[in-house]
Amino acid sequence: MKNFWNTLPKPFFALAPLADVTDCAFRELVAKYSKHGRGGGGPDVFWTEFVSADGLCSPAGRKKLLIDLAYTEAERPIVAQIFSSKPDNIKEAAKFIAELGFDGVDINMGCPDRSIEKQGAGAALMKDFKLAQEIIYAAKVGAGNIPVSIKTRIGYNKDILDEWIPTLLLTKPAAITVHARTRKEMSKVPARWEAVARAVKLRDEAESETLIIGNGDVKDLTEARARVEETGADGIMLGRAIFGNPWLFAPVLSFQHSQECWNDKKTRVTRVRELLKVLAEHTRLFEKKLGKVKNFSIMKKHYKAYVNGFDGAKELRMELMEAKNAGDAENIVKEFLKHRQT
């Protein structure tokens, strides 16, 4: 098996799969601003948004969903995440993903979206251990020479980690990402990092080679390293912290955009200009790659994250909410910078 997981540094840091966020445009931007390379910055592993395995099994669905599986070589190693409750469809989708050249396949067993759960997929799989195992085995058959991993939670309505993790380990996945909350908790409570430490212990007791990745509320690489020390996890996945911060995984650039630097009046003007330049670049990239297949309003959740913490941010954000395309956004930014100096 071609297993890239065995070549990663310890600890490693991954970019989470976030629906309508970590699309091919944003990942390309993250890769660009992490260009100093592994060890000097950049996610050690990229994930795609999750994609319906059922959809990939029909010609029309595959044609529509192919854009969600677009990636560049700068994003390697890159893992494609899929979801389904049908082992045969998972098998076929995993085979297709391997043919597309991905480095790995990940199965979503934690998404709390009700439309996904109604299909018996995502977090619903935590209520059917047997089916969950069947899906993993099917993915491994379809994936062939590339590794299969899982992203999940600590339970559905309650913490069932002590039963759930051993069940998954029996299938020998390459890695398990543990979002340290139950499905019921969503993101309404702080992540329970003691559960990640427990997952590591369960893995060690089983004498398994499966890697354990912790996930939940990590705001930067400094905190990520502290969580590794605290839990013994092999790696950490960062998600929401990437909003408005494509340089999250590049230590030098991330520091330059830290609150400490923003508080320095001498650097604030430069930081605002750089930030808004990246916002405009992101918007152009989104329109170029996804403008014909995705709604432009997706960019507006990024605007909310980019445009914060400086004079005039609220007014600029309100104007950007009215943008209809990349040209509009760029003109709004230019006008703002023309009249503002802080």
197, 203, 206, 211 alpha-carbon torsion, rounded to 10°: -160
Cα maximum dimension of the chain: 62
CB 25 within 8 A of CB 282: yes
- Residue of 24, 57, 111, 261 marked active site: 111
3-class SS string, 235-300: EEEECHHHCCCCCCCCHHHHHHCCHHHHCCHHHHHHHHHHHHHHHHHHHHHHHHHHCCCCCCCHHH
Residues 6+ apart with CB under 8 A from 101: none
Active site residue 261: no
Residues 6+ apart with CB under 8 A from 326: 280, 283, 284, 286, 287, 291
Kind of pairing, strands 104-109 and 12-15?
Answer: unpaired
Catalytic residues: 111
